[in-house]
Structure 1
Protein backbone atom coordinates (compact mmCIF):
# COMPACT_ATOMS: atom_id res chain seq x y z
CA UNK A 1 0.00 0.00 0.00
CA UNK A 2 1.52 3.31 -1.06
CA UNK A 3 2.05 5.96 1.64
CA UNK A 4 1.92 9.53 0.39
CA UNK A 5 4.06 12.25 1.94
CA UNK A 6 1.57 15.09 1.48
CA UNK A 7 -2.16 15.54 0.99
CA UNK A 8 -4.20 18.29 -0.63
CA UNK A 9 -7.82 19.16 -1.19
CA UNK A 10 -9.48 21.46 -3.72
CA UNK A 11 -12.92 22.74 -2.82
CA UNK A 12 -14.49 23.46 -6.22
CA UNK A 13 -17.02 25.73 -7.92
CA UNK A 14 -18.92 25.81 -11.20
CA UNK A 15 -19.56 29.57 -11.19
CA UNK A 16 -19.08 31.06 -14.68
CA UNK A 17 -16.61 33.75 -13.59
CA UNK A 18 -12.84 34.14 -13.78
CA UNK A 19 -12.16 33.65 -10.06
CA UNK A 20 -14.97 31.71 -8.37
CA UNK A 21 -14.92 32.45 -4.63
CA UNK A 22 -15.81 28.80 -3.99
CA UNK A 23 -12.41 27.46 -5.04
CA UNK A 24 -9.99 26.83 -2.17
CA UNK A 25 -6.87 24.68 -1.75
CA UNK A 26 -5.39 23.25 1.45
CA UNK A 27 -2.27 21.11 1.84
CA UNK A 28 -1.12 19.03 4.82
CA UNK A 29 2.07 17.06 5.39
CA UNK A 30 2.40 13.79 7.30
CA UNK A 31 2.63 15.88 10.47
CA UNK A 32 1.43 19.33 11.44
CA UNK A 33 -1.54 21.52 10.56
CA UNK A 34 -3.11 22.09 7.15
CA UNK A 35 -2.16 25.30 5.38
CA UNK A 36 -4.04 27.28 2.78
CA UNK A 37 -2.54 28.03 -0.62
CA UNK A 38 -3.69 31.52 -1.59
CA UNK A 39 -2.62 32.83 -5.02
CA UNK A 40 -2.73 36.62 -5.54
CA UNK A 41 -6.27 37.62 -6.47
CA UNK A 42 -7.71 34.22 -5.61
CA UNK A 43 -8.09 30.94 -7.49
CA UNK A 44 -9.30 30.49 -11.04
CA UNK A 45 -9.96 27.13 -12.66
CA UNK A 46 -7.11 27.74 -15.10
CA UNK A 47 -4.92 28.61 -12.11
CA UNK A 48 -5.87 25.29 -10.53
CA UNK A 49 -5.00 23.53 -13.79
CA UNK A 50 -1.60 25.24 -13.83
CA UNK A 51 -0.99 24.25 -10.19
CA UNK A 52 -1.79 20.61 -11.00
CA UNK A 53 0.52 20.65 -14.00
CA UNK A 54 3.30 22.02 -11.82
CA UNK A 55 2.69 19.28 -9.25
CA UNK A 56 2.94 16.71 -12.05
CA UNK A 57 6.15 18.21 -13.43
CA UNK A 58 7.71 18.26 -9.97
CA UNK A 59 6.70 14.64 -9.30
CA UNK A 60 5.06 15.65 -6.00
CA UNK A 61 4.51 12.73 -3.61
CA UNK A 62 0.97 13.94 -3.00
CA UNK A 63 -2.58 12.60 -2.85
CA UNK A 64 -4.91 15.34 -4.12
CA UNK A 65 -8.64 15.34 -3.43
CA UNK A 66 -10.97 17.15 -5.82
CA UNK A 67 -14.49 18.05 -4.73
CA UNK A 68 -16.44 17.35 -7.91
CA UNK A 69 -17.91 14.30 -9.64
CA UNK A 70 -15.62 13.24 -12.50
CA UNK A 71 -18.46 11.58 -14.44
CA UNK A 72 -22.20 11.40 -14.88
CA UNK A 73 -24.36 8.41 -13.88
CA UNK A 74 -23.94 5.48 -16.26
CA UNK A 75 -24.59 2.14 -14.53
CA UNK A 76 -28.29 2.73 -13.88
CA UNK A 77 -29.14 3.01 -17.59
CA UNK A 78 -26.10 1.64 -19.38
CA UNK A 79 -25.27 5.10 -20.77
CA UNK A 80 -24.69 8.67 -19.70
CA UNK A 81 -27.35 9.85 -22.13
CA UNK A 82 -29.61 6.83 -22.75
CA UNK A 83 -31.49 7.13 -26.00
CA UNK A 84 -28.87 9.34 -27.67
CA UNK A 85 -26.76 7.55 -30.28
CA UNK A 86 -23.71 9.74 -29.63
CA UNK A 87 -23.57 9.11 -25.89
CA UNK A 88 -19.88 8.62 -24.86
CA UNK A 89 -18.71 5.13 -23.96
CA UNK A 90 -16.54 6.00 -20.95
CA UNK A 91 -15.45 8.86 -18.72
CA UNK A 92 -12.55 10.06 -20.82
CA UNK A 93 -14.78 10.26 -23.88
CA UNK A 94 -17.28 12.19 -21.75
CA UNK A 95 -14.59 14.68 -20.66
CA UNK A 96 -13.58 15.20 -24.28
CA UNK A 97 -17.18 15.74 -25.36
CA UNK A 98 -17.88 18.28 -22.61
CA UNK A 99 -14.69 20.20 -23.35
CA UNK A 100 -15.31 20.17 -27.09
CA UNK A 101 -18.88 21.43 -26.80
CA UNK A 102 -17.87 24.23 -24.41
CA UNK A 103 -14.64 25.26 -26.14
CA UNK A 104 -15.91 28.83 -26.53
CA UNK A 105 -16.78 29.27 -22.84
CA UNK A 106 -14.27 31.26 -20.84
CA UNK A 107 -12.70 30.13 -17.55
CA UNK A 108 -13.50 26.42 -18.15
CA UNK A 109 -17.18 27.19 -17.67
CA UNK A 110 -19.91 25.15 -19.38
CA UNK A 111 -22.83 27.48 -20.13
CA UNK A 112 -23.10 26.60 -23.82
CA UNK A 113 -23.36 22.88 -23.07
CA UNK A 114 -27.00 23.34 -22.15
CA UNK A 115 -27.80 24.81 -25.56
CA UNK A 116 -27.05 21.45 -27.18
CA UNK A 117 -30.43 20.16 -28.39
CA UNK A 118 -29.81 16.58 -27.24
CA UNK A 119 -27.77 17.05 -24.06
CA UNK A 120 -30.14 19.68 -22.65
CA UNK A 121 -32.83 16.99 -22.50
CA UNK A 122 -31.05 15.26 -19.60
CA UNK A 123 -30.54 18.23 -17.26
CA UNK A 124 -32.60 20.29 -14.84
CA UNK A 125 -31.75 23.97 -15.31
CA UNK A 126 -32.71 27.37 -13.97
CA UNK A 127 -35.98 28.95 -14.95
CA UNK A 128 -38.00 25.78 -14.45
CA UNK A 129 -36.41 24.07 -17.43
CA UNK A 130 -36.24 20.32 -17.03
CA UNK A 131 -35.36 18.05 -19.92
CA UNK A 132 -37.74 15.28 -20.84
CA UNK A 133 -34.94 12.76 -20.14
CA UNK A 134 -33.95 14.13 -16.73
CA UNK A 135 -35.43 11.01 -15.14
CA UNK A 136 -38.48 10.04 -13.15
CA UNK A 137 -36.88 10.24 -9.69
CA UNK A 138 -37.32 13.69 -8.20
CA UNK A 139 -33.68 14.51 -7.55
CA UNK A 140 -32.27 13.01 -10.73
CA UNK A 141 -30.12 10.00 -11.52
CA UNK A 142 -27.22 9.04 -9.24
CA UNK A 143 -23.95 7.18 -9.72
CA UNK A 144 -23.41 3.93 -7.85
CA UNK A 145 -21.00 5.59 -5.41
CA UNK A 146 -23.66 8.22 -4.68
CA UNK A 147 -26.24 5.52 -3.99
CA UNK A 148 -23.76 3.97 -1.56
CA UNK A 149 -23.17 7.36 0.07
CA UNK A 150 -26.81 7.44 1.12
CA UNK A 151 -26.13 4.48 3.40
CA UNK A 152 -23.56 6.66 5.18
CA UNK A 153 -26.33 9.19 5.93
CA UNK A 154 -25.02 11.57 3.30
CA UNK A 155 -27.16 13.46 0.79
CA UNK A 156 -25.46 13.37 -2.61
CA UNK A 157 -26.99 15.36 -5.45
CA UNK A 158 -27.37 14.29 -9.06
CA UNK A 159 -24.87 15.73 -11.50
CA UNK A 160 -27.81 16.21 -13.87
CA UNK A 161 -29.25 18.78 -11.48
CA UNK A 162 -28.02 22.34 -12.10
CA UNK A 163 -30.50 24.16 -9.85
CA UNK A 164 -30.50 25.14 -6.18
CA UNK A 165 -27.99 25.33 -3.36
CA UNK A 166 -27.26 21.59 -3.49
CA UNK A 167 -26.69 21.42 -7.25
CA UNK A 168 -23.38 19.90 -8.31
CA UNK A 169 -23.93 19.68 -12.06
CA UNK A 170 -22.06 22.75 -13.26
CA UNK A 171 -19.24 22.24 -10.77
CA UNK A 172 -18.71 18.67 -11.95
CA UNK A 173 -18.90 19.57 -15.64
CA UNK A 174 -16.26 22.29 -15.21
CA UNK A 175 -14.18 19.68 -13.40
CA UNK A 176 -14.50 17.35 -16.38
CA UNK A 177 -13.10 20.11 -18.59
CA UNK A 178 -10.16 20.43 -16.19
CA UNK A 179 -9.50 16.68 -16.25
CA UNK A 180 -9.57 16.61 -20.04
CA UNK A 181 -7.13 19.51 -20.30
CA UNK A 182 -4.87 17.90 -17.71
CA UNK A 183 -4.44 15.19 -20.32
CA UNK A 184 -3.35 12.40 -18.00
CA UNK A 185 -0.47 14.42 -16.52
CA UNK A 186 -1.72 13.24 -13.12
CA UNK A 187 -3.42 9.85 -12.80
CA UNK A 188 -6.92 9.91 -11.34
CA UNK A 189 -8.22 6.97 -9.32
CA UNK A 190 -9.96 4.69 -10.19
CA UNK A 191 -9.73 5.50 -13.90
CA UNK A 192 -5.96 5.01 -13.57
CA UNK A 193 -3.88 2.68 -11.44
CA UNK A 194 -2.19 4.13 -8.35
CA UNK A 195 1.30 5.12 -9.54
CA UNK A 196 4.41 4.13 -7.60
CA UNK A 197 5.60 7.75 -7.51
CA UNK A 198 4.25 11.22 -8.20
CA UNK A 199 0.86 12.79 -7.51
CA UNK A 200 -2.53 11.09 -7.69
CA UNK A 201 -6.02 12.60 -7.89
CA UNK A 202 -9.08 11.21 -6.11
CA UNK A 203 -12.65 12.46 -5.96
CA UNK A 204 -13.65 13.53 -2.46
CA UNK A 205 -16.88 14.62 -0.81
CA UNK A 206 -16.32 17.28 1.84
CA UNK A 207 -19.48 16.27 3.72
CA UNK A 208 -17.96 12.82 4.26
CA UNK A 209 -15.02 14.41 6.06
CA UNK A 210 -17.38 16.56 8.11
CA UNK A 211 -19.41 13.51 9.16
CA UNK A 212 -16.22 11.66 10.13
CA UNK A 213 -15.25 14.67 12.26
CA UNK A 214 -18.46 14.27 14.24
CA UNK A 215 -20.70 16.87 12.60
CA UNK A 216 -24.36 15.88 12.52
CA UNK A 217 -26.23 15.19 9.27
CA UNK A 218 -27.27 18.46 7.68
CA UNK A 219 -24.67 20.42 9.66
CA UNK A 220 -21.52 19.92 7.61
CA UNK A 221 -20.29 23.54 7.63
CA UNK A 222 -17.69 24.86 10.06
CA UNK A 223 -18.71 28.48 10.53
CA UNK A 224 -15.91 29.62 12.87
CA UNK A 225 -12.16 29.04 13.26
CA UNK A 226 -12.82 27.43 16.64
CA UNK A 227 -15.24 24.93 15.08
CA UNK A 228 -12.71 24.08 12.37
CA UNK A 229 -9.88 23.53 14.83
CA UNK A 230 -12.07 21.36 17.06
CA UNK A 231 -12.86 19.19 14.03
CA UNK A 232 -9.20 19.02 12.99
CA UNK A 233 -8.35 17.48 16.36
CA UNK A 234 -10.49 14.47 15.38
CA UNK A 235 -7.98 13.80 12.60
CA UNK A 236 -4.91 14.42 14.78
CA UNK A 237 -4.18 17.67 12.97
CA UNK A 238 -2.76 20.73 14.69
CA UNK A 239 -4.83 23.95 14.70
CA UNK A 240 -4.83 26.11 11.59
CA UNK A 241 -4.26 29.86 11.74
CA UNK A 242 -6.30 31.15 8.79
CA UNK A 243 -6.35 34.93 8.14
CA UNK A 244 -9.77 34.76 6.46
CA UNK A 245 -12.24 32.04 7.40
CA UNK A 246 -15.06 30.91 5.13
CA UNK A 247 -16.91 27.68 4.37
CA UNK A 248 -14.79 26.84 1.32
CA UNK A 249 -11.43 27.24 3.05
CA UNK A 250 -12.72 25.31 6.05
CA UNK A 251 -13.99 22.48 3.83
CA UNK A 252 -10.65 22.24 2.03
CA UNK A 253 -8.62 22.28 5.25
CA UNK A 254 -10.74 19.70 7.05
CA UNK A 255 -10.91 17.37 4.06
CA UNK A 256 -7.15 17.52 3.50
CA UNK A 257 -6.65 16.47 7.14
CA UNK A 258 -9.28 13.73 6.77
CA UNK A 259 -7.58 12.46 3.61
CA UNK A 260 -4.29 12.13 5.50
CA UNK A 261 -6.12 10.36 8.33
CA UNK A 262 -7.77 7.67 6.16
CA UNK A 263 -5.57 7.26 3.08
CA UNK A 264 -3.67 4.30 4.50
CA UNK A 265 -6.85 2.21 4.91
CA UNK A 266 -6.70 -0.50 2.19
CA UNK A 267 -10.49 -1.00 2.29
CA UNK A 268 -11.10 2.50 0.95
CA UNK A 269 -9.12 1.68 -2.19
CA UNK A 270 -11.18 -1.46 -2.89
CA UNK A 271 -14.90 -0.71 -2.41
CA UNK A 272 -17.38 -3.38 -3.46
CA UNK A 273 -18.46 -3.25 -7.12
CA UNK A 274 -15.79 -0.71 -8.04
CA UNK A 275 -14.81 -2.75 -11.10
CA UNK A 276 -18.33 -2.32 -12.53
CA UNK A 277 -18.00 1.44 -12.79
CA UNK A 278 -14.28 2.22 -12.61
CA UNK A 279 -14.04 3.42 -16.23
CA UNK A 280 -17.47 5.01 -16.56
CA UNK A 281 -18.55 6.56 -13.23
CA UNK A 282 -15.46 6.54 -11.07
CA UNK A 283 -15.81 6.53 -7.28
CA UNK A 284 -15.79 8.90 -4.32
CA UNK A 285 -12.82 8.08 -2.12
CA UNK A 286 -14.00 7.07 1.34
CA UNK A 287 -17.37 5.67 0.28
CA UNK A 288 -17.51 1.91 0.88
Structure 2
Protein backbone atom coordinates (compact mmCIF):
# COMPACT_ATOMS: atom_id res chain seq x y z
CA UNK A 1 0.00 0.00 0.00
CA UNK A 2 1.30 3.47 -0.88
CA UNK A 3 2.51 5.98 1.65
CA UNK A 4 1.78 9.72 1.80
CA UNK A 5 4.78 11.86 2.71
CA UNK A 6 4.73 15.50 3.80
CA UNK A 7 7.74 17.79 3.78
CA UNK A 8 6.90 21.09 5.46
CA UNK A 9 9.14 24.13 5.81
CA UNK A 10 10.90 23.92 9.17
CA UNK A 11 9.76 20.35 9.81
CA UNK A 12 12.28 17.79 10.96
CA UNK A 13 11.19 15.46 8.15
CA UNK A 14 13.32 17.55 5.83
CA UNK A 15 16.37 16.08 7.53
CA UNK A 16 15.31 12.50 6.95
CA UNK A 17 15.95 10.41 3.87
CA UNK A 18 12.84 9.56 1.85
CA UNK A 19 13.48 5.95 0.90
CA UNK A 20 13.02 5.64 -2.84
CA UNK A 21 12.10 1.94 -2.74
CA UNK A 22 9.01 2.42 -0.56
CA UNK A 23 5.87 3.12 -2.63
CA UNK A 24 4.95 6.79 -2.12
CA UNK A 25 1.37 7.53 -3.13
CA UNK A 26 1.70 11.27 -2.51
CA UNK A 27 4.67 13.58 -1.89
CA UNK A 28 3.31 16.85 -0.49
CA UNK A 29 5.75 19.77 -0.26
CA UNK A 30 4.09 22.35 1.98
CA UNK A 31 5.86 25.70 1.82
CA UNK A 32 9.14 23.83 1.49
CA UNK A 33 9.76 23.98 -2.27
CA UNK A 34 12.56 26.39 -3.18
CA UNK A 35 13.32 25.50 -6.79
CA UNK A 36 14.55 22.93 -9.24
CA UNK A 37 18.21 22.70 -10.18
CA UNK A 38 17.80 20.58 -13.31
CA UNK A 39 18.00 17.29 -11.45
CA UNK A 40 16.86 17.60 -7.84
CA UNK A 41 14.19 19.54 -5.97
CA UNK A 42 15.70 22.24 -3.73
CA UNK A 43 14.03 22.68 -0.36
CA UNK A 44 13.78 25.88 1.70
CA UNK A 45 16.06 24.22 4.27
CA UNK A 46 18.87 24.12 1.71
CA UNK A 47 18.64 20.36 1.32
CA UNK A 48 18.01 18.66 -2.02
CA UNK A 49 15.46 15.95 -2.72
CA UNK A 50 16.80 13.48 -5.26
CA UNK A 51 14.49 11.69 -7.68
CA UNK A 52 12.09 9.15 -6.20
CA UNK A 53 11.55 6.00 -8.22
CA UNK A 54 8.21 5.11 -6.62
CA UNK A 55 6.29 8.38 -6.25
CA UNK A 56 2.78 8.51 -7.76
CA UNK A 57 1.72 12.10 -7.11
CA UNK A 58 3.52 15.33 -6.19
CA UNK A 59 1.91 18.41 -4.68
CA UNK A 60 3.62 21.79 -4.43
CA UNK A 61 1.66 23.84 -1.89
CA UNK A 62 3.29 27.20 -1.32
CA UNK A 63 0.61 28.63 0.94
CA UNK A 64 1.08 32.10 -0.53
CA UNK A 65 0.11 33.41 -3.94
CA UNK A 66 3.15 35.67 -4.29
CA UNK A 67 5.43 32.66 -4.90
CA UNK A 68 5.66 32.26 -8.66
CA UNK A 69 6.63 29.06 -10.42
CA UNK A 70 8.45 29.61 -13.69
CA UNK A 71 7.89 27.69 -16.90
CA UNK A 72 11.27 26.00 -16.36
CA UNK A 73 10.28 24.88 -12.85
CA UNK A 74 6.98 23.41 -14.06
CA UNK A 75 8.82 21.45 -16.77
CA UNK A 76 11.51 20.48 -14.27
CA UNK A 77 8.92 19.09 -11.85
CA UNK A 78 7.32 17.05 -14.64
CA UNK A 79 10.74 15.67 -15.61
CA UNK A 80 11.43 14.94 -11.94
CA UNK A 81 8.17 13.03 -11.57
CA UNK A 82 8.37 10.90 -14.71
CA UNK A 83 11.57 9.29 -13.46
CA UNK A 84 9.12 7.21 -11.44
CA UNK A 85 7.18 4.69 -13.51
CA UNK A 86 4.31 5.13 -11.03
CA UNK A 87 4.03 8.90 -11.48
CA UNK A 88 0.58 10.12 -12.58
CA UNK A 89 -0.07 13.68 -11.45
CA UNK A 90 1.51 16.98 -10.42
CA UNK A 91 -0.64 19.29 -8.27
CA UNK A 92 0.24 22.99 -7.96
CA UNK A 93 -1.52 24.89 -5.18
CA UNK A 94 -1.29 28.39 -3.71
CA UNK A 95 1.30 29.73 -6.11
CA UNK A 96 1.34 31.91 -9.21
CA UNK A 97 1.74 29.92 -12.39
CA UNK A 98 2.91 30.87 -15.87
CA UNK A 99 -0.03 31.82 -18.08
CA UNK A 100 1.04 29.08 -20.50
CA UNK A 101 3.91 26.69 -21.11
CA UNK A 102 5.62 26.15 -24.45
CA UNK A 103 4.26 22.74 -25.55
CA UNK A 104 7.44 22.05 -27.53
CA UNK A 105 9.44 21.61 -24.33
CA UNK A 106 7.15 19.08 -22.66
CA UNK A 107 8.85 15.68 -22.38
CA UNK A 108 7.23 13.28 -24.84
CA UNK A 109 6.91 10.69 -22.09
CA UNK A 110 4.58 13.00 -20.14
CA UNK A 111 2.11 12.98 -23.03
CA UNK A 112 2.42 9.27 -23.78
CA UNK A 113 1.79 8.43 -20.12
CA UNK A 114 -1.08 10.95 -19.81
CA UNK A 115 0.54 12.79 -16.91
CA UNK A 116 -1.91 15.32 -15.44
CA UNK A 117 -0.72 18.75 -14.23
CA UNK A 118 -3.32 20.49 -12.07
CA UNK A 119 -3.82 24.02 -10.77
CA UNK A 120 -6.13 22.99 -7.94
CA UNK A 121 -6.90 26.50 -6.74
CA UNK A 122 -8.39 27.42 -10.11
CA UNK A 123 -9.79 24.01 -11.10
CA UNK A 124 -7.69 23.95 -14.28
CA UNK A 125 -5.31 21.44 -15.82
CA UNK A 126 -2.38 22.00 -18.15
CA UNK A 127 -3.14 20.81 -21.67
CA UNK A 128 0.14 19.23 -22.77
CA UNK A 129 -0.73 19.67 -26.45
CA UNK A 130 -1.40 23.41 -26.36
CA UNK A 131 0.49 24.39 -23.21
CA UNK A 132 -2.58 26.29 -21.96
CA UNK A 133 -4.51 25.96 -18.71
CA UNK A 134 -7.93 24.51 -19.49
CA UNK A 135 -11.13 23.36 -17.83
CA UNK A 136 -11.32 19.57 -17.53
CA UNK A 137 -13.83 17.74 -19.70
CA UNK A 138 -12.79 14.08 -19.57
CA UNK A 139 -13.55 11.60 -16.82
CA UNK A 140 -9.93 10.76 -15.99
CA UNK A 141 -8.92 14.38 -15.43
CA UNK A 142 -12.07 15.22 -13.45
CA UNK A 143 -11.57 12.10 -11.32
CA UNK A 144 -7.97 13.07 -10.53
CA UNK A 145 -8.90 16.68 -9.76
CA UNK A 146 -11.60 15.58 -7.32
CA UNK A 147 -9.39 12.98 -5.62
CA UNK A 148 -7.92 15.58 -3.26
CA UNK A 149 -9.27 18.59 -1.36
CA UNK A 150 -10.77 21.42 -3.40
CA UNK A 151 -10.89 24.77 -1.63
CA UNK A 152 -13.34 27.60 -2.23
CA UNK A 153 -11.82 30.56 -0.42
CA UNK A 154 -13.57 33.84 0.27
CA UNK A 155 -10.54 35.58 -1.25
CA UNK A 156 -10.92 33.74 -4.57
CA UNK A 157 -12.27 35.81 -7.42
CA UNK A 158 -15.83 35.09 -8.47
CA UNK A 159 -14.58 33.56 -11.74
CA UNK A 160 -12.31 31.14 -9.84
CA UNK A 161 -15.14 30.19 -7.49
CA UNK A 162 -17.38 29.57 -10.50
CA UNK A 163 -14.74 27.31 -12.10
CA UNK A 164 -14.52 25.27 -8.91
CA UNK A 165 -18.31 25.01 -8.68
CA UNK A 166 -18.53 23.92 -12.34
CA UNK A 167 -15.94 21.19 -11.70
CA UNK A 168 -17.78 19.94 -8.61
CA UNK A 169 -21.13 19.88 -10.41
CA UNK A 170 -19.63 18.01 -13.35
CA UNK A 171 -18.20 15.42 -10.96
CA UNK A 172 -21.48 15.12 -9.08
CA UNK A 173 -23.50 14.76 -12.29
CA UNK A 174 -21.16 11.97 -13.45
CA UNK A 175 -21.18 10.33 -10.00
CA UNK A 176 -17.42 10.86 -9.65
CA UNK A 177 -16.15 10.70 -6.07
CA UNK A 178 -15.45 14.14 -4.57
CA UNK A 179 -12.92 13.55 -1.81
CA UNK A 180 -13.34 16.83 0.10
CA UNK A 181 -14.65 20.35 -0.35
CA UNK A 182 -13.33 23.06 1.98
CA UNK A 183 -15.19 26.35 2.27
CA UNK A 184 -12.70 28.78 3.79
CA UNK A 185 -14.61 31.79 5.14
CA UNK A 186 -16.83 31.58 2.06
CA UNK A 187 -19.97 29.99 3.55
CA UNK A 188 -22.89 32.39 3.89
CA UNK A 189 -26.11 30.40 4.31
CA UNK A 190 -28.33 27.57 3.09
CA UNK A 191 -31.15 28.78 0.86
CA UNK A 192 -34.73 27.50 0.65
CA UNK A 193 -33.72 24.96 -2.02
CA UNK A 194 -31.12 23.44 0.29
CA UNK A 195 -28.14 24.80 -1.66
CA UNK A 196 -25.14 26.51 -0.09
CA UNK A 197 -24.89 30.22 -0.82
CA UNK A 198 -21.36 31.58 -0.75
CA UNK A 199 -20.36 35.00 0.53
CA UNK A 200 -19.84 35.99 -3.12
CA UNK A 201 -23.53 35.30 -3.79
CA UNK A 202 -22.79 32.23 -5.92
CA UNK A 203 -24.69 29.02 -5.25
CA UNK A 204 -23.08 25.65 -4.58
CA UNK A 205 -25.84 23.15 -5.40
CA UNK A 206 -26.15 19.84 -3.58
CA UNK A 207 -23.31 17.47 -4.48
CA UNK A 208 -24.47 13.86 -4.46
CA UNK A 209 -20.99 12.30 -4.63
CA UNK A 210 -19.14 14.27 -1.93
CA UNK A 211 -17.33 12.37 0.85
CA UNK A 212 -16.15 15.14 3.18
CA UNK A 213 -16.90 18.79 3.79
CA UNK A 214 -15.02 21.35 5.88
CA UNK A 215 -16.61 24.71 6.60
CA UNK A 216 -14.28 27.25 8.19
CA UNK A 217 -16.00 30.45 9.26
CA UNK A 218 -14.71 33.73 10.58
CA UNK A 219 -13.40 33.26 14.11
CA UNK A 220 -16.24 33.01 16.65
CA UNK A 221 -18.92 33.37 13.98
CA UNK A 222 -22.20 31.96 15.23
CA UNK A 223 -23.95 29.15 13.38
CA UNK A 224 -27.47 28.58 14.68
CA UNK A 225 -29.48 25.37 14.84
CA UNK A 226 -31.37 26.19 11.63
CA UNK A 227 -28.08 26.60 9.74
CA UNK A 228 -26.59 23.42 11.22
CA UNK A 229 -29.67 21.46 10.18
CA UNK A 230 -29.42 22.99 6.71
CA UNK A 231 -25.80 21.87 6.41
CA UNK A 232 -26.69 18.37 7.64
CA UNK A 233 -29.50 18.20 5.10
CA UNK A 234 -27.09 19.33 2.37
CA UNK A 235 -24.50 16.61 3.01
CA UNK A 236 -26.95 13.76 3.67
CA UNK A 237 -27.94 13.76 -0.02
CA UNK A 238 -24.63 12.04 -0.79
CA UNK A 239 -24.60 8.31 -0.06
CA UNK A 240 -20.79 8.52 -0.02
CA UNK A 241 -20.66 11.15 2.71
CA UNK A 242 -18.32 10.36 5.63
CA UNK A 243 -17.27 13.46 7.55
CA UNK A 244 -18.29 17.03 8.30
CA UNK A 245 -15.99 19.50 10.04
CA UNK A 246 -17.08 22.94 11.21
CA UNK A 247 -14.22 25.09 12.48
CA UNK A 248 -13.62 28.52 14.02
CA UNK A 249 -17.35 28.94 14.70
CA UNK A 250 -19.58 29.08 17.75
CA UNK A 251 -22.16 26.29 17.67
CA UNK A 252 -25.32 25.55 19.64
CA UNK A 253 -24.70 23.57 22.82
CA UNK A 254 -26.79 20.72 21.44
CA UNK A 255 -28.34 19.67 18.14
CA UNK A 256 -31.77 18.00 18.17
CA UNK A 257 -31.81 14.70 16.30
CA UNK A 258 -33.81 15.54 13.20
CA UNK A 259 -34.34 13.65 9.92
CA UNK A 260 -30.98 14.62 8.39
CA UNK A 261 -28.91 13.73 11.44
CA UNK A 262 -30.84 10.47 11.82
CA UNK A 263 -30.19 9.60 8.18
CA UNK A 264 -26.46 10.23 8.58
CA UNK A 265 -26.31 8.16 11.77
CA UNK A 266 -28.24 5.29 10.20
CA UNK A 267 -25.68 5.13 7.39
CA UNK A 268 -22.85 4.87 9.89
CA UNK A 269 -21.43 8.31 9.21
CA UNK A 270 -18.89 8.72 11.99
CA UNK A 271 -17.54 12.10 11.20
CA UNK A 272 -20.15 14.67 12.05
CA UNK A 273 -17.38 16.48 13.90
CA UNK A 274 -17.52 19.96 15.38
CA UNK A 275 -14.43 21.96 16.29
CA UNK A 276 -15.11 25.11 18.26
CA UNK A 277 -12.21 27.41 19.03
TM-score of Structure 1 vs Structure 2, range by shorter chain: under 0.3
TM-score with structure 1 setting the length: 0.24
TM-score with structure 2 setting the length: 0.24
More helix by share: 1
Higher RCO (CA-CA < 8 Å; seq separation 6+): 1
Q: Which has the larger radius of gyration?
A: 2
More strand by share: 2
